[in-house]
Amino acid sequence: KLSGAVFDLYKANGDKLKTGLVTDKNGTILVSGLKPGSYYFVETKAPAGYLFDRNKHYNFAIEIGNQKQSQTVKVTDDRQASKASIVSTDKGGHADHHKG
């Protein structure tokens, strides 16, 4: 569960409803009072050390008659690979640097 991820909320037609929604310590954002319709979240900032897909839309819908029920949208961020440099020295004392 990741805290500190930032999302914007849009209607299906592209109208931005809310911006700067940040996940809490439980990795959760709660948005209430949405009218029936289709919506999507877009992640705008991942927590430190994580990568996210800026072009991905996390879709969900609120159905008429189910406004009181909650919809859950699950988002997974990938942990950023740490870059390591490997230094190997040959017998001549020259160092070769390999970036990986």
Q: Give the separation between CA 51 and CA 87, rounded to whole angstroms.
A: 27
Report pLDDT digits (tens) over 14-31.
Answer: 999 999 999 999 999 999
Give the DSSP letter of residue 67: T
Q: H/E element holding 13?
A: none
Report pLDDT digits (tens) over 39-72.
Answer: 999 999 999 889 888 889 999 998 887 656 677 8
Which domains does the chain show, CATH number per domain? 6-99 (2.60.40.10)
Question: Are the C-beta atoms of residues 47 and 3 closer than 8 Å to each other?
Answer: yes
Give Cα 98 distance to the centre of its chain. Answer: 31
Question: Are the C-beta atoms of residues 53 and 77 closer than 8 Å to each other?
Answer: no
What 3-state DSSP class applies to 89? strand
